[in-house]
Amino acid sequence: VNGDDECAFDKFGNDLGDYYLQRGNLVEAIKSYARTRDFSSMPKHTDEYSLNLIITSIGMDKIMNIANYIGKIDDPDTSLAVKDKLRIVKALLFLSQSNYEQCAKTFLSITSCENILYQFPQVISTHDIAIYTTLCSLATLNRNQIRKLLLENREFKSILDCVPLTR
């Protein structure tokens, strides 16, 4: 399989998975995304199908699968937007495990809030990020940490501004 064929297989597998996902057939969507993996060798394609598998696994409530797919994306060449999406997914995993301090710190480590505000709505809304981060921070961090990590965080301010009650 040459590079052009690989791109065609990736595109078809992702498009088919998207089709099933839009129609609520999560089992077929995850199968299509997983088949894409067989034809992917480029890191960009690995990131794309892994994010698709993560989104579908969240919909299926398959928490253990999500951690596995996150590990496939952790690459130094991964784009900032993809890294921020991974941070969001990791924070949600911490939240599902009742690890509220790590959840707050992981949400607060998002480096490009403007980038993420409109690019990951199928997983979580900006409003929910602000609420979860604020509540988890208040529950687990001391005053100095809250001031430094939450209130003085310029990157995260754009998210907090979306929900005035969190300021």
Q: What is the pLDDT of residue 136?
A: 96
Higher pLDDT, 104 or 159: 104
Which residues have C-beta within 8 Å of that of residue 1, sequence separation ≥ 6? 9, 39
What string of DSSP letters covers 66-87? HHHHHHHH--TT--HHHHHHHH
Q: What does DSSP assign to residue 152?
A: T
pLDDT tier at 83 (50, 70, 90 boundaries)?
A: confident
Query: 29-44 pLDDT, tens per residue?
Result: 988 888 887 666 666 6
CA 39 to centroid of chain Cα atoms = 23
pLDDT of residue 84: 86
The confidence band for 98, taking pLDDT boundaries of 50, 70 and 90, is very high
- pLDDT over threshold 60, residue 3: no
Give the torsion sign (CA, 11, 74, 89, 119). Answer: negative
pTM summary value = 0.82
- Using DSSP, state whether 130 is helix, strand or coil: helix
Q: Tens digits of per-residue pLDDT, 41-77?
A: 666 677 888 888 898 999 898 888 888 888 877 677 7
Q: Which residues of 78-107 are buried (b: 16+ CB within 10 A; e: fewer)?
A: beeebbbbbbbbbbbbbbeeebbebbbbbb
pLDDT given for residue 1 in this prediction? 47
pLDDT reading at 166 higher than 80: no
